[in-house]
Structure 1
């Protein structure tokens, strides 16, 4: 399991760095929200305490997509990722939270197959 999680560190750190670079200098924190239903991806980088807008770069979009694809190929299929970046003692830190689909929702075929009874071959 550790090997799989280790593969996420570099792409995640690249994503965090680009999110910070896309944030206005006046920000001390921000939330990058990535939503994906498996075919369409939405991005938002916001700070509720500051009216100044962030500019999502093409590089940030690509890094969001790269992380999603890497994790999904590794079996970690999420629908929402929230990356909270914040300044702490003059340096940036981050926290990540993923929302995973319920098995009864639109799931990838592998998850749907796992939930059907073994004896109902026609489903």
Structure 2
């Protein structure tokens, strides 16, 4: 994997955090929907480590679902928390929501710091 510039890494992290936020919001909105299965974001490095299919010819289909973003949203079909077949655990989702908000804020602060450094290097004022 090629090296990313700090801003590119921050941008990818913020995009992944936003995808996670969307999945969590969808899960919370559907907490009482019968047979709803929770969504979660899986990062491609996890997917790649479990990928067993190997392309031996460029004309073969690529089994990867990656779009280059570094993550994929999947449905968690495991188990059921409620009697109606829904597997959303509201306590878990609220915890994930708070953790993800902190991550997004930290990434935003990192981006701001990068821009301040660029400004100083270019001779701008504080």
Give the alignment's TM-score, normalised by structure 2. Answer: 0.31
**Relative contact order higher in (CA < 8 Å, ≥ 6 apart):** 2
Higher strand share: 1
Higher helix share: 2
Give the alignment's TM-score, normalised by structure 1. Answer: 0.31
